[in-house]
Structure 1
């Protein structure tokens, strides 16, 4: 398995599932989205479940890169844990604006195949890693669940209230930071 071929397939599948959902695309549609032959598609990913997992694993890596790559370090002169969290919230908003306005693709995959334990495990790993990394850059270790709820609320309300959802998430993050700061004193 060559990494370039697998990346190409996974990227194409991610795009197809994000645009059309998990039930609609036929195998031929998925083959076309992956830009490979049906034989190659099945060689790398022998089942539809494998295709969904590969697409979501690819999306997981892209999402982490979008949120955390190039984030100003807390050691930068004008960067505090609060501003790092604000940057993250705005990056979630920009992801929603450019990638999807329909909520979380990971939740959509689990909803489409609720008995698939591998999908549930990937959803849990994805959310945990985002929350853990967000807590680390914002100095909110121990508040991962609260951060996850802020991010999840943002992604779920985005379709109805794009700008207001960002402002609300920033406000809630500020309250969380203030509560943490107050608990230390």
Structure 2
């Protein structure tokens, strides 16, 4: 199942959600069409499977270090998000792209909302009293959305905003 989900994720990340044919998705998943449809009986199911896989990989990449410990500050988290953007998502957020490709699909919107809520809550909880989940959401989203245009400058700005949020939290 992980092999299928990973192949689908790579195909959608590379070609978008409307471009790859079912045959291309089958080839990317490395299985027969019958097996692909067994685990994902529709294109919508394939998209959801790919996004769930992406969510788990993102959580692991951002919130687990090679030693198994977790980043302790929002700045550490921002560095890991920038690393993800450099290697995995230079064109922007795959969850946002999915919603854009099917704007009336409530299940995709729900996946996007759950993904962003979980990420921002984890980032805020690791940062302690430095930022709220809402602060973390805005800073992380700013970084991921600005990355395709500004690259490293987006990381510098995100870190500056995180420092301002931390100072504001300490002042209150």
**Per the shorter chain, which TM-score range?**
over 0.9
Distance 2:130 2:122 in 1: 9
The alignment status of 1:176 with 2:165, answered yes or no, reads yes
Question: How much is the aligned-residue C-alpha RMSD, in angstroms?
Answer: 1.5
Distance 1:159 1:110 in 2: 18
Moved over 6 A (4+): none
The alignment status of 1:15 with 2:4, answered yes or no, reads no
Residue 156 of structure 1, aligned match among 134, 145, 160: 145
- Give the match for residue 43 of structure 1: 38
SS at match of 1:165: helix
The alignment status of 1:99 with 2:88, answered yes or no, reads yes
Q: Deviations over 1:116-173 (max 9, x none)?
A: 1111111110000000000100014871112111111111111111111101000000
Structure 1 contact 132–141 (Cα < 8 Å) conserved: no
The range that moved more, 145-154 or 16-25, is 145-154
Between Structure 1 and Structure 2, how many residues are aligned?
170
- Give the match for residue 31 of structure 1: 26
Provide closer, same or farther for how the CA distance between residues 68 and 181 of structure 1 changes in structure 2, counting only shifts above 3 A: same
Matches within 5 A, 1:15-164: 15-70=10-65, 84-140=73-129, 143-164=132-153
> With structure 2 as the length reference, what TM-score do the two structures score?
0.94
Give the number of the structure whose alpha-carbon radius of gyration is greater: 1
Structure 2 contact 131–166 (Cα < 8 Å) conserved: no
Structure 1 spans left out of the alignment, 5+ residues: 1-5, 75-80
Provide closer, same or farther for how the CA distance between residues 47 and 144 of structure 1 changes in structure 2, counting only shifts above 3 A: same
> With structure 1 as the length reference, what TM-score do the two structures score?
0.88
- Give the match for residue 77 of structure 1: none
Distance 2:130 2:106 in 1: 28
